[in-house]
Each structure stands twice: as C-alpha cells, then as structure tokens.
Amino acid sequence: MSSPQPNPGILDIAPYTPGKTPQPMAGRKVFKLSANETPLGPSPKAVAAFTAAAAHLEDYPEGTSRVLREAIGRVFGLDPDRIICGAGSDEILNLLAHTYLGQGDEAVMTTHGFLVYPIATKANGATPVIAPEREFTADVDAILARVTPRTKLVWLANPNNPTGTYLPFDEVKRLRAGLPPHVVLVLDAAYSDFVSRNDYQAGIELVATTDNTVMTHTFSKIHGLAALRVGWMFGPANIVDAVNRIRGPFNVSTPAMAAAAASIEDAGFLSHARAHNETWRAWLTDEIGKLGLKVTPSVANFVLIHFPTEAGRTAADADAFLTARGLVLRAVKNYQLPHALRLTVGTEEANRLVVAALREFLHG
C-alpha cells in the first residue's frame, strides 16, 4: 500500500527559513539582528494588558477579536467590521490565498518579495509569476505585463522585505488602475509604521475606495509583539465576508488581543520607536557606506548590505565573521540575494558594534 501523498505542488514548496537564532557565547553578549525585531521591546502598557489577561486563561478568546478590531478602528479611523485579525499577518496572507487561489490560477509577485507569497500561492495549487524589479524596487509596468486571465492575486510588500524599498502611492494607484477588476491587490504594509516619506501611503485610501484591494499589517515589528503573533487586514466588505468564512473562530488569543489593543493606542511609545529607527537607520546607512559597501536605501527598520564577490570578502564570509562576534545578521540567499546581508536596526550598542566589526572585517 502506498503512503499518503500530499496534494500536487506541496513538495515543490521550499519551506520558509526564518532568521537564525543566535547561540549563547561564553563571555560575549549576543545581538540578534536577523529578524527585524524591535530593539526597544514592547510597550509597557502592552505588557500590563498581557499580564492582566493571564488571570483568565481558562476562557476561550472572543471569536472575532472585537476589542482589538475596535482599537484599530479608533486609531486609523476605520470601520471595525471591515477588519480581520489573525495569528500574525502571515495567517491572513494564507487565508487570502486559500480564498482566492486554486488549481490553474496565477499570483504575481516581485523578484525579492516576501517568501510567504510563493508558499501561500503554491499551497493552494496556483502558480507564482515573478515580475522583475528595478534597482531592488517593485516595477509597476513589469507587474502589469505579467497579468493574464489566470491572475487572481497580486502580492505587493510596500515597503518590501528584505530590500527596504517602497513604491510611492501614485505608483500603487497606477498599479490598481491597471489591474483587471477580478484581481485582488494585496498591499502588505508590515513595515509601514517606519516610513516617513511624504509620497507614501499604506493603502487605506485605496482599500476604502475599491472593492478588490486589501491592506495587511502586523504587530510584530514596531509594536514588539512578535512572540504573540498578531496581525490584521483592512478590506472591502465582500472580501472580509469571504475570508471570515474560513478563518478559525479563535485564531487570536486573549492575551495577544489585549496586548495589541493596548499597544496600538500607546502613541508615545510608537513615536519613540519611530524616532529611534529613523536616527539609527540613517546612521547605519552612512557609516556602512563609508566602509565602501553599497547599502540599498531603506524606509523600513533594516538595511540591505551588498558585499563583493571576491574570496574572503563575500556576504558568507562577513556573516561568519560577524556571527563569531555575537552579531547575527540575516543571509538572504533564499531571496535571490546571495551577495547581501540584511541588518535589523538595533540598539545604539549593537549598531556601533556592527559597524566596528564590518570595518575590521574589510580593513583589518
């Protein structure tokens, strides 16, 4: 008798590889700068809300994340009925794929887009279609050129991970206008809280004025709640209704809901986190550039560093050198970037140590 066989395409999926977790090193402080986690930790108000919720762990969560949806609605001025919450935005991306993709369908994404996009696409029997980027940035014309009658979804991370680049809102609107009405445009705004450019918008306006666009967001980055796995989506009523029909009824835990609701309304904490990131992202970009390395301009909470290909100076060499010194960055070979490392903006101490270590690596 043959063994159980997975659905077609499942074994063709390359598993998602997270940023490596640093190993303790005797006598040396270790800095994890591989997962775009905030160096500031969560809001104290979020911690207090999480702790208070621990008194009632015997109760099932409220099944629609009502308290959290209402908090998001207050902060962003949105109708809570058009918000879905999930176990990280990853769950919501997978729910969207499950709702709108099937055998024979296609989903368009860019060369260096988030790794969950091809996984979610293939898991539902659809085909990922890759649109080339320009200078590590999504190219609207390239995306539109790859849309066919089989296209059902377009995935766009804006800002993009791992490049840190973004599309101005006018370009996002041009993309939406060029897509057929049956194509869902998914605007992944996981890093939008870090963007300070005047020509950027996360996509709320576009979602509010179309019935085929959604915006996803997360509490894992600026809010510092990655361990709790909380994300959310704002979408048209028709898409929210469809996704809610397959969403698990208790997909966000009560402590996670409470912490996220407290965090999103802690404006002072979020302002401090943005200021820290703005200062040190610019500093890292300048200082690493002075060492002779190219850094892709970033609007997120990380920078992409490009290394030479000569032996002894490669990205892999640098990764090993830094790791040995307790500085753990993210190799991005699985993002088709074999000659680069992604560095999360860290504490002042971590940032200065990385630059000093890179200087030693390059110049001795």
Buried b (16+ CB within 10 A) or exposed e, 103-138: eebbbbbbbbbbbbbbbbbbbbbbbbbbbebeebbb
pLDDT digits (tens, 9 = 90+) for 269-299: 999 999 999 999 999 999 999 999 999 999 9
Output the average pLDDT for the chain: 95
Q: Are residues 219 and 92 in the same domain?
A: yes
Tell whether 340 is covered by a domain. yes
CA 58 to each of CA 46, 51, 63, 254, 260: distance values in angstroms, whole numbers, following the listed order: 20, 14, 15, 10, 20
Please determine, for residue 252, whether its predicted confidence score (pLDDT) is greater than 70. yes
Q: Are residues 296 and 242 in the same domain?
A: no
| pLDDT at site 356 | 98
Q: Are residues 129 and 277 in the same domain?
A: no
Nearest to 346 by CA among 307, 301, 300, 299: 301
Q: What percent of the chain has pLDDT over 90?
A: 91
Tell whether 12 is covered by a domain. no
C-alpha–C-alpha distance, residues 146 and 127, integer Å: 12
| pLDDT at site 9 | 77
Q: Are residues 164 and 293 in the same domain?
A: no
C-alpha–C-alpha distance, residues 164 and 166, integer Å: 7
Domain count along the chain? 2
Please determine, for residue 1, whether its predicted confidence score (pLDDT) is greater than 60. no
Please determine, for residue 17, whether its predicted confidence score (pLDDT) is greater than 90. no
Query: pLDDT category, 27, cuts 50, 70, 90?
Result: low
C-alpha–C-alpha distance, residues 152 and 324, integer Å: 45
Q: Are residues 290 and 337 in the same domain?
A: yes
CA 236 to each of CA 43, 52, 66, 144, 210: distance values in angstroms, whole numbers, following the listed order: 31, 34, 17, 22, 7
Q: Are residues 162 and 254 in the same domain?
A: yes
Tell whether 65 is covered by a domain. yes
| pLDDT at site 72 | 98
Q: Are residues 261 and 274 in the same domain?
A: no
Q: Are residues 131 and 257 in the same domain?
A: yes
Q: Are residues 235 and 254 in the same domain?
A: yes
Residue ending a domain, among 216, 247, 265, is: 265
Strand bridging mode 83-86 / 231-234: antiparallel
Q: Are residues 53 and 34 in the same domain?
A: no
Query: pLDDT category, 2, cuts 50, 70, 90?
Result: confident
The Cβ of residue 234 has, within 10 Å, a number of other Cβ atoms equal to: 28
Instruction: Indicate which CATH number applies to the domain containing 327.
Output: 3.90.1150.10
Residue ending a domain, among 241, 265, 289, is: 265
| pLDDT at site 7 | 84
Instruction: Indicate which CATH number applies to the domain containing 231.
Output: 3.40.640.10
pLDDT digits (tens, 9 = 90+) for 34-51: 999 999 999 999 999 999
Query: pLDDT category, 22, cuts 50, 70, 90?
Result: low
What is the pTM for the complete model shown? 0.94
Q: Are residues 63 and 94 in the same domain?
A: yes
| pLDDT at site 218 | 98
Tell whether 3 is covered by a domain. no
Give 328's strand partners: 32
Please determine, for residue 25, whether its predicted confidence score (pLDDT) is greater than 70. no
What is the mean predicted confidence (pLDDT) over 306-327? 96
Give the DSSP per-residue string, 89-120.
HHHHHHHHHHHH--TT-EEEEETT--THHHHH
| pLDDT at site 18 | 73
Q: What percent of the chain has pLDDT over 70?
A: 98
What is the mean predicted confidence (pLDDT) over 189-212? 97
Tell whether 134 is covered by a domain. yes
Residues 6+ positions from 257 with CB-CB distance below 8 Å: 53, 61, 62, 65, 67, 68, 85, 230
pLDDT digits (tens, 9 = 90+) for 132-148: 999 999 999 999 999 99
Query: pLDDT category, 28, cuts 50, 70, 90?
Result: confident
Tell whether 5 is covered by a domain. no
Phi, psi angle pair for 344, to nearest 5°:
-75, 135
Residue ending a domain, among 265, 284, 316, is: 265
Q: Are residues 260 and 321 in the same domain?
A: no
Q: Which helix (H) or strand (E) segment is 186 a member of?
A: strand 184-188
C-alpha–C-alpha distance, residues 102 and 95, integer Å: 12
Q: Are 183 and 154 in contact (CB under 8 A)?
A: yes
C-alpha–C-alpha distance, residues 153 and 98, integer Å: 11
Domain, as residue range, for 136: 44-265
Give the DSSP per-residue string, 279-315.
HHHHHHHHHHHHTT-EEE--SSSEEEEE---STTSSH
Tell whether 7 is covered by a domain. no
| pLDDT at site 19 | 67
| pLDDT at site 155 | 98
| pLDDT at site 303 | 98
Nearest to 89 by CA among 39, 10, 157, 165: 157
